[in-house]
Amino acid sequence: MSVRTKRRLPNVGRILAIGYLAIVVIITLFPFYWMLRTAFSDNYALLGNPASLLPVDFTWGPFQRVLGLQSVEDARAEGGSGASVELASYLRNSIIYAGIATFCQVFFAALAAYAFSRLHWKGRDLIFGILFTALMIPGILTLLPNFVLIKDLGLLNSFAGLILPGAFFSAFNIFFLRQFFLGQSTEIEEAAMLDGASRLRIFFRISLPLASGPLTTLSVLGFITYWNDYFWPLLVSSDESTQPLTLALAVFKQSSPQAQPDWAGLMAAALLAALPMLIMFGFFGKRIVNSLGFSGLK
C-alpha cells in the first residue's frame, strides 16, 4: 500500500472537493435507496403513491416472493404473479456458469498475455493487433452465428454451450494483463533464468503469483459480468438445469406490453441478485482497488 503524505489543500479547495464527493455519493446511492424502498412496498399501494420516500404499506412480501416463500394467493394479492421461482437451481447454475467461465477466461488470457509481453517471437505484435480488434466487433454480429454453431455442436441447454463462446478468448483481459506484464520488472525472471529455470516454470512460479492483483481484479469483474449476463443464457438455456439466476428473475419482468409488472418483486430480486457480488466485492474490495495500479505505467 503506497504511503502518502496528506496534502493540505487550502480550505476553499478542500471544502469544494468534499462537497463534490458528497454529491457523487448521494447521486450514486439514492437510486439504491429507491430500489430498497420499492422492494419493501406493496405493489398496489405503490400505485397510489408512486413518489413516496418511505416504503408504501411496508411488507416483506417481495423478498418472500423472490425466495419462493410466499403462497400464490398472497403473491397475487400483492400484485405478484404467483409463478414459482426455484431459487436453489438457478443459484447453482449461476455459480457454475459464472465461476467456470470466469476462471477459464482469466486463465487463458493470462497465458496469452504473458506470451504477448514477455516472449519474443515473430508476428507477435501483429497477431496481438488482430486479436485486439475483437473488442470492437458489435455483439449482434456474433450473436446468431454463435447460436447456430452451439446448436450444431449439440450443446444447447448445456453449460458447455453457455460457457464456450466467451471462455477461451477475452480481448479485454489479454490487453489488461499484457499491460501489466509489460510494466513488470524482469529482474527476478532473469535471475531465475540464469539459475536454469525454464520459461514455463518461471511463468507459473514467479510471474503468475506476481500478477495476483490484476488476476483477482479481472476475476471479480469477469464474475460480475457473467453473473449479470442475460441475453446469451436466454437463447441457449431452456430449463432449470442450466438457466442462471438472471433468467429466473425475468419472472418479475413485464409479461406483456400491457401487463402490470411486479415492481416490488423485481427490485427485491435485483437487490438479492446483487448481494453475492456485494459480499464478494466487500471481501476482495480493498485488494482489487489497490491492485489496479499498473496498467500502462512503466
Partner 1 sequence: MSSVKTSPVGAPPRRSKRRATAARVGDARLAWILIAPSVLGFLVFAAYPAIRGVYLSFTDYRVLSAPEWVGLKNFQELMGDDKFWGSLGVTIQFVILTVALTMIVSIASAVILHRVTSSTLIRSIVILPFLISNVVAAVVWSWMLDRQLGIVNIALEALGNDSIGFLSDRGWVVPTLAVITVWKTAGYTTILVFAGLQTIPPQIYEAGKLDGASEVAMFRRLTLPLLRPILAMVLVLTVIGAFQVFDIVQVSTKGGPANASLVLQMYIYDKAFGQFDFGYASAMSLVLFVMLIVISFAQMRLLRASESDQN
Partner 2 sequence: MKARPLIVTLVGLALVAPLAACSSSTSEADAGTVSWWTWDDKQAVSYGKCEAAFEDANPDIDVQIKQYAWDDYWAKITAGFIGGNAPDSFQNHPSYYPEFADQGQLLELDDLITESDFDLQKYAIGLSTWEEYKDGHTYGLPKDWSTMAFFYNSDLIAEAGLTAEQLSTMTWNPEDGGTFEDVIARLTVDDNGVRGDEPGFDAANVAVYGMSTLTGGGINGQDTWGEFAPTTGWTLGDTPNWPTTFQYADENYVATAEWIRGLVEKGFTPGFGEFSTGITEQLGSGSVAMVQGGSWYTTTMQALPDITVATAPTVIGPIGERRALSGSNADSIWAGSENSDAAWQWISYMGTEECQTLAGADGTFFPSIAASMDASVEAQAAAGTDLSAFTVQFDDGTLYEAPLFAGGTEVQSTVSPMSELYWTLERDSDVFAEMDAESAQIFADNN
Residue ranges binding partner 2 (CB under 8 A): 42, 44-45, 47-51, 57, 72, 77, 79, 81-83, 96, 100, 104, 107-108, 144, 147-148, 151, 154-161, 163-164, 167, 198-201, 231, 234-235, 238-239, 241-242, 250-251, 253-260
Q: Of the ranges 67-75, 76-84, 92-100, 159-167, which one interacts with partner 1 (CB under 8 A)? A: 159-167
Applying CB under 8 A, which of residues 100, 206, 210, 234 lies at the interface with partner 1? 210
Task: Give the long-range contacts of residues 205-208, CB within 8 A, separation 24 or more.
Answer: 207/114, 207/118, 207/181, 208/110
How many residues at the interface with partner 1, by CB under 8 A? 108
Cell of 53: 420516500
11 binds, among partner 2, partner 1, none (CB under 5 to 8 A by kind): none
Among 112, 215, 236, 251, binds partner 1 (CB under 8 A): 112
Cell readout for 247 is 433468467
Q: Are 218 and 176 in contact (CB under 8 A)?
A: yes
| Minimal distance, residue 292 CB to partner 2, in Å | 26
Taking CB within 5 to 8 Å according to partner kind, which of partner 2, partner 1, none is near residue 285? Answer: partner 1
Nearer to partner 2, 273 or 288 (CB): 273
CA distances from 288 to 79, 111, 119 (A): 41, 21, 27
Here the cell at position 168 is: 477461451
Rounded distance between C-alpha atoms, residue 60 and residue 264, angstroms: 10
The only residue of 29, 67, 88, 259 in contact with partner 1, by rule CB under 8 A: 29
Q: Smallest Cα–Cα separation from 290: which of 195, 207, 214?
A: 214
Compute the residue count for the chain: 298
